[in-house]
Amino acid sequence: MVDEYAFKNGGRPVRRINCRLGELSAMTRALYFCFESASKGSRCEGAELVIEEVPLSVFCHTCNAVKTPSGRFNFRCPDCGFPTPKVVTGREMQLTSIELEAADENAARTHLSADYPTQQTSCQ
Residue ranges binding Zn ion (CB under 5 A): 60, 62-63, 77, 79-80
Closest distance to Zn ion from the beta carbon of 63 (Å): 3
Closest distance to Zn ion from the beta carbon of 85 (Å): 12
Which stretches of the chain are assigned E, i.e. beta strand?
Answer: 14-22, 48-54, 57-60, 65-67, 86-89, 93-100, 108-111
Closest distance to Zn ion from the beta carbon of 89 (Å): 17
Q: Give the contacts of 83 (CB within 8 A, at least 6 positions apart).
A: 75, 76, 77
Q: In what order do the strands lie in the sheet with 57-60?
A: 65-67, 57-60, 86-89
Closest distance to Zn ion from the beta carbon of 69 (Å): 11
- Which DSSP category does 55 fall into? P
Report whether 14 contacts 100 (CB < 8 A). Answer: yes
> Residue 76 or residue 91: which is nearer to Zn ion going by CB?
76
> Residue 4 or residue 79: which is nearer to Zn ion going by CB?
79
Q: Which residue is nearest to Zn ion (CB)?
A: 77
> Residue 15 or residue 67: which is nearer to Zn ion going by CB?
67
> Residue 49 or residue 63: which is nearer to Zn ion going by CB?
63
